Amino acid sequence: MTLDSDWYAVRCVFRSIVEVGVTTYEERITLWQAASTDEAIERAEAEAEEYAAAIEDAEIEYVGLAQCFHLFDDPVDGAEIFSLMRDSDLDPEDYLDAFFDTGDEHQSHGDD
């Protein structure tokens, strides 16, 4: 890390098989201080491989998708740490159902 480093959030996608016939995909966003987008992705992908290897109770793999967001400011309470825009002709309800609320999500709410 150099003095000219900025903050980057990198989303990586993982596939895990906890039991036969059940595949779960996980998206993780990690925060990196780096000199460039390429450096942030390189470091995030290295951590993604370590993360996948450290899980002992499931077969998990990093599937090779890393998306990076260059933060505009240093991270503070309420800072935007990731943004992804997608063009779509779907209405809002169908869009959410297709990409975010399929009914198969494993979500944590609060202290669950």
- Reduced to 3 DSSP states, what percent helix, strand and coil does the chain have, rounded to the nearest 5? 25, 35, 40
**Strand order in 22-34's β-sheet?**
22-34, 6-19, 59-70
Contact between 29 and 82 (Cβ < 8 Å)? yes
Residue 23 belongs to a domain = yes
Residue 87 belongs to a domain = no
Residue 16 belongs to a domain = yes
Residue 105 belongs to a domain = no
Can you give the residue range of the structural domain that contains 58? 1-73
Looking at residue 111, its pLDDT comes to 57
Residue 111 belongs to a domain = no
Alpha carbons 80 and 73: distance in angstroms, whole number? 9
Residue 24 belongs to a domain = yes
Residue 88 belongs to a domain = no
Domain count across the chain:
1
From first to last of its 112 residues, the chain has per-residue pLDDT tens of 455 799 999 999 999 987 778 888 899 999 999 999 999 999 999 999 999 999 888 889 999 999 999 998 899 999 899 998 888 898 999 988 888 888 777 777 555 4
User: What is the residue type of 24?
Assistant: T
CB atoms within 10 A of CB 75: 13
Contact between 70 and 8 (Cβ < 8 Å)? yes
